[in-house]
């Protein structure tokens, strides 16, 4: 009986060995894995180019109202001069491999040198990357242009939506407007950062830009009754001047009068 069972089992094993089960074809797995790896890399790169998402790192926020300015020192020793109607958000303690801050408005940075931790400033439209230098960044949300002036060292400047960098050195200026970057090699740094010394300097600027600047500088609103006035241009310099003095000088040159009611300024043409 046992011999018969053994012979029956042997025949089954022999038949199975002649027809081994076919292996499933998984040849597409390596190719799929490569595709997933590439896609993951592209996603990571795109995220690195964009503004980092908020983390659990505690942040401090310093903001100035129209007519105010502020000076502060960051945890790494970087000093910041914050212009009127501006806001700076920065970590209370920088991370080990990077220093990132977020600016709305205008500020002058003197960045402490740290080769192991690049310093990056994010604005609504641009990204500025440096190791140690001094520069002025103007990025007000109500202005089309974002402007950067380098006064010492070197800076990498780019759009938030484009990885192409523009290298800037001392006394070079760059602007980002309408999705385009442009650079100017010959500039007058003193004029562009005169606000740090409470100076207002206008060089052939349209009244539309001047009035916008005065609104931030003095904390007022300006209403112009004749829109044609906004196309006129003016050149002048003021040092710690009262608003009435500034308006009187510009009005005399461009033939307009003004009325001040609390924080509201009305501009009208001279009779």
One digit per residue, the tens of pLDDT, for the chain of length 271 reads 444 444 444 454 444 444 444 444 445 444 444 444 334 433 433 444 445 555 578 999 999 999 999 999 999 999 999 999 999 999 999 999 999 999 999 999 999 999 899 999 999 999 999 978 999 999 999 999 999 999 999 999 999 988 889 999 999 999 999 889 999 887 778 889 999 999 999 999 999 999 999 999 999 999 999 999 999 999 999 999 999 999 999 999 999 999 999 999 999 987 7
121: number of Cβ within 10 Å: 26
Q: Specify the residue for token string 């020793």.
A: 77
Helix (H) or strand (E) holding 79: strand 79-82
pTM, 2 dp: 0.76
The SS3 assignment for 188 reads coil
Give strand ranges (E) for 112-198.
119-122, 126-130, 134-139, 146-152, 154-159, 166-169, 172-177, 180-184
What CA–CA distance (Å, rounded) separates 122 from 103? 6
- DSSP symbol at 51: P
State how far Cα 95 lies from the chain centre. 19
Tokens of 181: 């970057």
Tokens of 81: 């001069």
């Amino acid at each position: 009986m046992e011999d018969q069972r053994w012979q029956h089992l042997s025949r089954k094993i022999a038949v199975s060995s002649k027809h081994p089960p076919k292996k499933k074809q998984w040849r597409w797995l390596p190719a799929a894995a490569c595709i997933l790896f590439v896609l993951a890399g592209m996603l990571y790169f795109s995220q690195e180019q964009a503004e980092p998402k908020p983390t659990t790192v505690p942040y401090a926020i310093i903001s100035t109202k129209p007519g105010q300015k502020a000076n502060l020192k960051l945890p790494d020793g970087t000093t910041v001069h914050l212009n009127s109607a501006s806001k700076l958000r920065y970590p209370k303690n920088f991370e080990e491999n990077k220093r990132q801050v977020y600016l709305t408005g205008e500020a002058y940075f003197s960045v402490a040198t740290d080769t192991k931790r690049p310093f990056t400033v994010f604005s609504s439209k641009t990204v500025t990357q440096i190791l140690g230098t001094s520069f002025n960044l103007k990025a007000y949300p109500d202005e089309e242009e974002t402007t950067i002036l380098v006064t010492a060292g070197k800076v990498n400047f780019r759009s938030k939506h484009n990885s192409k960098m523009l290298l800037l050195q001392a006394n070079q200026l760059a602007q980002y407007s309408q999705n385009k970057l442009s650079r100017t090699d010959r500039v007058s740094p003193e004029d562009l950062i005169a606000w740090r010394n409470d100076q207002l300097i206008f060089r052939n600027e349209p009244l539309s830009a001047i009035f916008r600047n005065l609104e931030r500088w003095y904390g007022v609103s300006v209403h112009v009754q004749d829109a044609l006035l906004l196309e006129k241009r003016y050149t002048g310099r003021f040092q710690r001047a009262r608003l009435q003095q500034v308006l009187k000088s510009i009005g005399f040159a461009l033939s307009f009068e003004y009325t001040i009611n609390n924080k509201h300024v009305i501009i009208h043409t001279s009779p």
